[in-house]
A = this chain, B = another copy of it.
């Protein structure tokens, strides 16, 4: 592995309405973890109540994957609480970035608090830009804001071609989607 100062830290964005945005983020964490890099993630929508497959894997593999949400945007009846949760969450992300705690950091579903206006986009972009050289960041979520796309090095749109849940009424399969 090249030392951090010789790496080109990428800002990667996975967006679109299709599946695989977060999942590809976990795939990057797997690959980087395999190379001995320090990986981690913060999840802006997932709550800590029910562990998903990725949390069980992170625990077994020994990396940090922190759900910041309370299932907000779907469960909350108090929007100011959602905003506060999002802001507190971003403060943790900013600190982790500034400290250089991770070689690769996943910011899962960050687009939602940005699009709801709970986080200030220009502040988030400034914090991302100020991260230590060689730090790779992956942002996921639908409807990535244009300024985030502009700032990114690599942007992929995941587009639905066929979706079993919509078309066949099949429920979420444990281990695949959750």
A-side residues, CB < 8 A to B, are 1-2, 7-8, 10, 12-16, 18-20, 22-37, 52-61, 103-104, 136, 149, 152-164, 168, 170-171, 173-178
CB < 8 Å: which of B14, B33, B160, B175 contacts A103?
A: B175
Query: When A53-B32, A54-B34, A57-B30 are in contact, do A20 and B175 touch as well, CB less than 8 Å?
Result: no
CB-CB under 8 A from A22, the residues of chain B are 27
Enumerate 30 A-B pairs (CB-CB under 8 Å) in ascending A order.
A1-B175, A7-B174, A8-B173, A10-B164, A10-B176, A16-B159, A18-B156, A18-B157, A23-B31, A26-B30, A28-B175, A30-B54, A31-B52, A31-B54, A33-B57, A34-B56, A34-B59, A35-B53, A35-B56, A35-B175, A36-B56, A37-B175, A103-B175, A104-B176, A152-B162, A154-B162, A154-B164, A156-B158, A156-B159, A157-B161
Q: When the two chains form the complex, which single residue of B25, B29, B34, B168 contacts A58, counting CB atoms closer than 8 Å?
A: B34
Closest to A23 in B: B27
Given contacts A20-B158, A25-B27, A155-B161, 8 further A-B contacts (CB under 8 A): A10-B170, A15-B161, A26-B27, A28-B176, A33-B60, A35-B175, A61-B61, A157-B158
Name A162's contact: one of B20, B31, B36, B149 (CB within 8 Å).
B149
- Which residues from chain B contact A14 at a C-beta distance below 8 Å? 20
CA distance A156 to B18 in the complex (A): 6
Task: Give the chain B neighbours of A8 by CB distance below 8 A.
Answer: 164, 170-171, 173
